Amino acid sequence: MYSIGKLAEVSGIDPYTLRYYEKIGLLPKPSRKKNGYRDYGEQDLTRLEFIQQARAIGLTLLLIKHLLDLKEKKREPCALVRKIFSDKAMQLKQQMEMLRTMKEELRAFPLSTDAHEVPENACPCPESHLSVLKKSARS
């Protein structure tokens, strides 16, 4: 059994975040000790590990809660999870392409270690070099 402080230490999640997860239903309300302190179990730690893994791949708390709710209702969300992962993989692929393009543009950018090498009237930052940055700002 874990106090909130111990669960925070073991999981690496701040106690305020744990209380928030409880408030929004990501974590079930734990039993309480006689002194009123929260008393978490191994199943709460396992649930937090799932939440952390889901957050790490970019799932929202709302979506994570939905998946956990389905699981609690004994409805396996396999088809939904496959769709989510497929969509996330496509999104990551697009982000990687955008980052690759940005990397190429940055490498093509004329970098100089000596400010005297660049004429005053030559802007080292033409519009064409900012095209990818503008696209990413809109995303």
Mean pLDDT along residues 35-60: 92
Predicted TM-score (pTM) of this structure: 0.66
CA 53 to chain centre: 9
H-run or E-run covering 39 = strand 38-39
**Phi and psi at residue 39, in whole multiples of 5°?**
-130, 100
Domain-wise residue ranges, the chain:
1-76, 77-110+124-139
Identify the CATH assignment for 1-76 out of 1.10.3210.10, 1.10.645.10, 1.10.760.10, 1.10.1660.10. Answer: 1.10.1660.10
User: How many whole angstroms separate alpha carbon 38 and alpha carbon 87?
Assistant: 37
Please check the confidence at residue 11 and state whether its pLDDT lies above 70: yes
Is the CB of residue 131 less than 8 Å from the CB of residue 98? no
Mean pLDDT along residues 19-38: 92
